Amino acid sequence: MSDRKKKSGKPGGTPGPEGVDAPDAGEAHEDSASASASRTDASAVDSTAPEPEGAGGNAESAAVEEAPKSQTVLREILESSTLVVIMAIVASLAIGGILIVFADEQVREAATYFFARPGDTFSAMGDALGSAYSAIFQGAVLNFNADTFAGMIRPFTQTLTMATPLIFAGLGLGIGFRAGLFNIGAQGQLLIGATLGAYVGFAWHLPWGIHLIVAILGCALGGAIWGFIPGFLKARTGAHEVIVTIMLNYIALNLVAWLLTLEAFQREGSDNPITPIVDETAQYPLLLGSGFNLHWGFVLALACAWGVWWLMERSTLGFELRAVGANPHAARTAGMNVSKGYILVMVIAGALAGLAGSAQVLGTEKVLTTATAGSLGFDAITVALLGRSRPVGTIMAAILFGGLRAAGPTLQVQAGLPVDIVFVIQALIVLFIAAPPLVRSIFRLPAPAHEKEVAA
């Protein structure tokens, strides 16, 4: 690595828009002097060295240069954060496998006479792992035991259905993370968005097409309003977004529970806290027909992912939000409105979380209850972290978690294991993602170059 590359990661430089320190004037002067000296030495060597004869000299030079390039590529792969994420998932599945082994009754029984016949124990362990991971695959990806093609691909469509609200909410949280805000209020924003969208869905009777659009906008509006509150408080009073969003999560849950006791929200002839079914004109159309639960909300989630990518990577507003996240003081000095950025980030994140609620009340469940959000808002935090707050990574992480959710019932029925194993695997993924040095130490991966320089 050249001196310039090494010095660019040292503290003390001017922070760039992506948080990368630029070399100061002193370092630039030293680099320039070093480069001039290197060119002088190289000229002196070239003047005394013999000229290469034929093509053989060029081939040898290419071979000498090729080896360092391959080593550099390998080092970049080993130091990449993507590999750490993959290894975190592998480690989580491995530890989950250990739990599966201990939870299996046949393994525990064979272990009682392990020293007499150890082969029985290892055979039972293999059967338990094979049965469990086969059930997860059949419940989340493909069911090879199905009689029809539709039955074979139904598990994967169910995975995509489960992933849809996680994509919406994960995108919103990812924007906040990149803007320097740790927004954990997706749970409340999802609930308020789902409440407003569900009310529009069953109380308003509009023509087909218009009704669905208005209901979707209602979900986004509800979430945006609930996201505006912590954004405004952060911008005006400096209130920490973590505390405010936690409080708003509880307020949203209790507010929805109270609304469901009102006559306007209760289903006719029922005292249960559940709303009427939203009109068919306000429901997401099914994407693959009546034999599947996958709806057009998934397509809308992909469109939002593209929109978030364009916003954060190609627009001026996205550049300002990333600059605020990298260094708010420098962004303010550069003339950017940091307070406005905080408010906009929370409004956009809230709107996306509200769209996650639309996937529930307009697509999957078609009703509103206090359990509509489940743990989606909190799972979305893991999805955003696992996806490194990038749209493509968020989609892939949401599909992974959607697959684990979809495989839960199959794991319980076919393998006879508790569905809590799935939640344990999810928690382990969170643990390893939150501790990259732990993953690197387990798999003997080298630390990134900038971490080595900071440590030195």
CA-derived radius of gyration, the chain: 27
The structure tokens 């916003």 sit at 311
**Does 115 lie in the same domain as 219?**
no
Residue 57 lies in a domain: no
Residue 237 lies in a domain: yes
pLDDT at site 415: 75
In three-state secondary structure terms, 14 is strand
Closest CA to 90 of 143, 144, 133, 123: 133
pLDDT at site 204: 92
Q: What angle do CA 103, 105, 417 make, to 5 degrees?
A: 50
**Does 269 lie in the same domain as 185?**
yes
Q: What angle do CA 158, 160, 163 make, to 5 degrees?
A: 110
Residues 138-167 pLDDT 10s? 889 988 888 888 889 999 999 999 999 999
pLDDT at site 114: 86
Centre a 10 Å sphere on the Cβ of residue 32 and count the other Cβ atoms it contains.
11
Amino acid, res. 289: G
pLDDT at site 29: 42
pLDDT at site 450: 55
**Does 207 lie in the same domain as 106?**
no
**Does 437 lie in the same domain as 361?**
no
Domain span holding position 309: 162-402
What DSSP string describes 339-405? HHHHHHHHHHHHHHHHHHHHIIIIIIS-S--TTSSTTHHHHHHHHHHHTTT-HHHHHHHHHHHHHHH
pLDDT at site 291: 84
pLDDT at site 52: 44
pLDDT at site 71: 57
Q: What is the pTM of this model?
A: 0.78
**Structural domain count, the chain:** 2
337 contacts: CB under 8 Å, gap ≥ 6:
none
Centre a 10 Å sphere on the Cβ of residue 267 and count the other Cβ atoms it contains.
15
- How many Å apart are CA 163 and CA 302, to the nearest integer? 11
Amino acid, res. 17: P
Residue 279 lies in a domain: yes
**Does 336 lie in the same domain as 365?**
yes
Residue 437 lies in a domain: yes
**Does 106 lie in the same domain as 194?**
no
Q: What angle do CA 312, 313, 318 make, to 5 degrees?
A: 35
Residue 76 lies in a domain: no
pLDDT at site 298: 96
Residues 251-266 pLDDT 10s? 999 999 999 999 889 8
Pair 213, 192: CB distance under 8 Å? no
Residue 95 lies in a domain: yes
Residue 196 lies in a domain: yes
**Does 233 lie in the same domain as 182?**
yes
**Does 166 lie in the same domain as 306?**
yes
**Does 105 lie in the same domain as 234?**
no
Where the chain has pLDDT below 50, the residues are 1-67, 454-455
**Does 294 lie in the same domain as 199?**
yes
**Does 327 lie in the same domain as 212?**
yes
Amino acid, res. 54: G
Residue 135 lies in a domain: yes
- The DSSP call for residue 274 is -
**Does 431 lie in the same domain as 309?**
no
pLDDT at site 59: 44
